[in-house]
Amino acid sequence: MSTEIVVIPEQAQSLAQVNTICESVEVWVQTVDRPEMIVDAVGKLAAMSEYLRATSADGRGRIELTARKCSIRLGEILPKAPTGQGVKYPDSGYLISPQQRSKLRKIAANADLVDIIGSTDEDPLTQNKLLEAIKQREDDRLVAEAVDRLTPDDFDPVRNRELIRQRGALARQCIGICELGDTFQFYNNNEQHIEHRHIEAVTAARDWLNNFLGLVNS
């Protein structure tokens, strides 16, 4: 494993320089097993990202992407620590708290999200943004697991969609009838224009609804 500290300037004068630095860091970090070295690199990347933000220069998205890849590696190699205690690295003077370690391990466990989400100058992949995406993934997984537990083995999604459509149609049509207003007033307003086809439709609907309510209330 590498023991050399990668050279990362606090300023970059061009996007080409940013890309070169990031490529070097991403290769280097995969050879490192000393967390304090990666912590130092992430700090330098943060300084460069801030410089680019302040000067409106291109490349911040690329820098943040590389920083997240460093976080992945850091989460992979962090040593265990007694519960409730942080890990301090004398070389960097940086304390990794239990909460920070938890975040880094989550990032390492969801490394694929870094490339899935991507990072641009307009929308850089900050650690907070990545952690929000990880939380959303975890929430989606929990929902999917709950649905699986509650779904019968003979569940037919096509039939289920049709049943949902039918229940929605029943509610909408009944609400639509009620929205016609007072029955007496409706009849008076439309008496001269009510035809046999209207009576047939209402009679059929009445019979259907009476049968339905009979089953519901039985």
Q: What pLDDT does residue 83 have?
A: 53
Residue 113 pLDDT: 94
Q: For the range 132-136, what are the long-range contacts, defined as Cβ-Cβ under 8 Å and sequence gap of 24 or more? A: 134/106, 134/107, 134/110
Looking at residue 81, its pLDDT comes to 58
Distances (CA, A) of 210 to 152, 186, 205: 31, 22, 8
Token pair listed for 3:
């023991």
Domain map (residue ranges) of the chain: 15-149, 157-216
Main-chain phi, psi angles of 58, to 5 degrees: -75, 150
Question: 60 by DSSP, 3-state: which?
Answer: helix
At a CB cut-off of 8 Å and minimum separation 6, what does 88 contact? 94, 95, 96
Which pLDDT score, from 0 to 100, does residue 192 have?
93
Cα separation, 174 vs 155, whole angstroms: 28
Q: What phi, psi does 71 have (nearest 5°)?
A: -65, -35
pLDDT of 206 reads 96
**Residues 114 and 123: beta-carbon distance below 8 Å:** no
Compute CA distances 30 → 5, 33, 81, 131, whole Å. Answer: 13, 8, 23, 22
What 3-state DSSP class applies to 88?
Answer: strand
pLDDT of residue 92: 45
pLDDT for position 90: 46
pLDDT score at 91 = 46
Q: Are 107 and 130 in contact (CB under 8 A)?
A: yes
Mean pLDDT, consecutive 10-residue segments, the chain of 218 residues? 64 84 93 90 90 87 95 88 53 68 93 94 94 95 87 84 93 95 95 94 96 94
